[in-house]
Amino acid sequence: MGAWQARGKVGMWSGLLDRLLERIVHDGRLTVRGAGVVERTYGNGSGPQVTIWLHDPTLPRRLILNPDLALGEAYMDQDLTIDGDDLPGFLALLLMNRGAGKSGWAIRLNLGLRRLLRRVQQYNPLQRARQNVAHHYDLSGALYDLFLDEDRQYSCAYFRSPEDTLEQAQAQKKAHIARKLRLEPGMRVLDIGCGWGGMALTLAGEHGAHVLGVTLSREQHAVAQQRAEMAGLADRAEFRLMDYREVTGEFDRIVSVGMFEHVGVPHYREYFGHVRDRLTVDGIAVVHTIGRNTPPGSTSPWISKYIFPGGYLPALSEVMAAVEKERLWTTDVEVWRLHYAETLRHWRERFAANEGAALALYDARFCRMWRYYLTASEMSFRYHNQVVFQVQLSRRQDAVPLTRDYLYRVT
């Protein structure tokens, strides 16, 4: 290809990117400079003001063909840099406009193609589920210590006040779920996707339950077992390295926090069928999951490739369609809106404060990846379409009280 043809193709992709940004960026001000583009400013200046630099002339083409994946990779590889490294401001600007409905043909086409492939990408038989979990949760435990609370709660906290510390909010989350479970001493509890054991140890230590926690992560399993022994709770909190589909027996209560995102739509009925089969007749289950405040969609290709392969954030309609077919009563549904945005803000700030330690564990590209993951997730909850669903289920209509008064202190 001659130099004239190469310049022409760069110019074409630059022009397409220019038109896409004109359609997306309405609020705020975005200035684009660098290789392969004519310097332009977009937006009305009423929100965040950010300047980005494109350092690779092929980046406009990549951003048009696969916007989500290319943007994350460009930041990781430093093909795109931001003045002041203001990643929160940049992603807030993009997602507040996307949340307001601003879009373009490249984004709509990409989303349509992703929808066509989503069931294949979310097919998670047991062996694939193990591989997907290992990709994220079997990273160095020291990495998670850099940004999580002391109990290693890697899920949405419950903020009664913006002034709550992360530790307070995570303790409040566990207490809120425990109230929904209506626990009594001696009850058998199954914790599906138990993480590093924090929820199971709380239910065993503070509520007198006998808890079985299951996880597919070797790292989490080893830590949870060690924590149970150190806390003197090994007789009441047991942890097994196994898939929830391999569990047998009956339980008075089932809790699942931050695991349903890894199930995949093709397995929803299978999941809720196991929940029903494992519950006693008067049992109660609480499923806590990230979801979307929109109709069914697809997973970000950047998230699928680098963070959570096989993961998907469901629409409530998808969850309920499976529940309805598995002979379960939906006894309560609660939607948490900005709680995860605040949780992620704490995580992002803690990671930033400890990034030197992260660099000792992994390289600079990994740290930029992790920074992008935490920041993009926070801004998605703050400005786009992500929420948290807590769904309480039972096999009997009268398994829980008729009102929600039991969840809150009377003042």
Show me where the domains of the chain are located: 3-119, 122-407
pLDDT tens sequence across 154-178 = 999 999 998 999 999 999 999 999 9
Please give the pLDDT value at position 6. Answer: 42
Tokens of 322: 């499976």
For residue 10, give every residue at least 6 positions away whose Cβ sits within 8 Å of its Cβ, in sequence order, or none.
36, 57, 58, 60, 61
**How far apart, in whole angstroms, are the C-alpha atoms of residue 385 and residue 378?**
11
> Which residues lie below 8 Å from residue 242, measured CB to CB, with a gap of 6+?
214, 216
Tokens read off for 335:
């939607």
Give the pLDDT score at 48. Answer: 87
Please identify which residue in the block is written with the tokens 């929904």.
Answer: 180
Q: In this structure, are residues 30 and 71 in contact, taking their beta carbons and an 8 Å threshold?
A: no
**Partner residues linked to 54 by β-bridges:** 34, 80
Are the beta carbons of 275 and 393 closer than 8 angstroms? yes
DSSP 35: T
Question: What pLDDT sits at residue 7?
Answer: 43
E strands of 275-328, at which residues?
279-292
Contact status, residue 44 vs residue 22, Cβ threshold 8 Å: no
Under 8 Å between Cβ of 161 and 361: no
Residue 411 confidence (pLDDT): 42
Taken in order 304, 310, 316, 321, is the CA torsion positive or negative?
positive
The token duo for 304 is 């699928």
Residue type, 89: G
Model confidence pLDDT, tens digit, residues 330-377: 999 999 999 999 999 999 999 999 999 999 999 999 999 999 999 999
Whether 195 and 154 have beta carbons less than 8 Å apart is answered as yes
pLDDT at 196: 97
pLDDT in tens, 178-199: 999 999 999 999 999 999 999 9
Q: What is the pLDDT of residue 88?
A: 97
Low-confidence ranges of the chain (pLDDT < 70): 1-10, 114, 117-125, 129, 132, 409-411
Closest C-alpha to 313, from 381, 255, 220, 366: 381
Cβ atoms within 10 Å of 380's Cβ, excluding its own? 23
Q: What is the CATH number of domain 122-407?
A: 3.40.50.150
Kindly provide the b/e burial profile for residues 265-294, where b requires at least 16 CB atoms within 10 angstroms of the residue's own CB.
Answer: bebbebbbbbbbebbbeebbbbbbbbbbee
Q: What is the pLDDT of residue 232?
A: 97
Scanning the structure block, which residue is given the tokens 């809720």?
Answer: 272
- Predicted model pTM: 0.92
Which pLDDT does position 118 carry in this prediction? 66
The per-residue pLDDT for 1 is 37
Quick one: tokens of 97? 């406009």
